[in-house]
Structure 1
């Protein structure tokens, strides 16, 4: 799933540095992204001998721009992320089905000299 998200995000914003959890990252002076994927509750999604396990989770992409440089680039990048994943579905190499839902956006405030926007995209990952 991570590789699918990484390649989709890289195709949408090819020249944007992206930080992934617990990965070495040289923070740039300009716009960059930070990505986290958070699985929530897992449940049995149907009845029968061949049941589906549904993982409910959330993809979070935080967009960073230097403080006091305006919000145009911040919102353009955030909206690109949201549009890229909104209602996107994919069959993964491990035979799981991934479906992203509608994104939400929230002001993340200022962090270490950067102003942030958090894009949250719920997803369902179904495994047989």
Structure 2
């Protein structure tokens, strides 16, 4: 069973989780995802939620569904590289918005990050 936050729809959190597994390399090109029912049980969510997750991943061109065989991670390495770049961009934008809300500057954060290396 999985813990979910209230600030984002569950299906979106599951999409993010699977994308994270792809970026980290835990899910490789061409890997088969669990069936909708299996993933619903693993995640502790409704089957319809998982169907939406898989549909969203397919719309993002990150998975391919093969009738009668299941859902597979794309074999397009370029698409995964695009996903990685997109996720980095989103994280940076979120971080910058967060520090700005507290009144910190980019320069202050860069100095701190350089100290941490």
- Fold-level similarity (TM above 0.5): no
- Structure (1/2) with the larger strand percentage: 1
> TM-score normalized by structure 2?
0.27
> TM-score normalized by structure 1?
0.26
Look at both structures and tell me which one has the larger radius of gyration over its CA atoms: 2
- Structure (1/2) with the larger helix percentage: 2
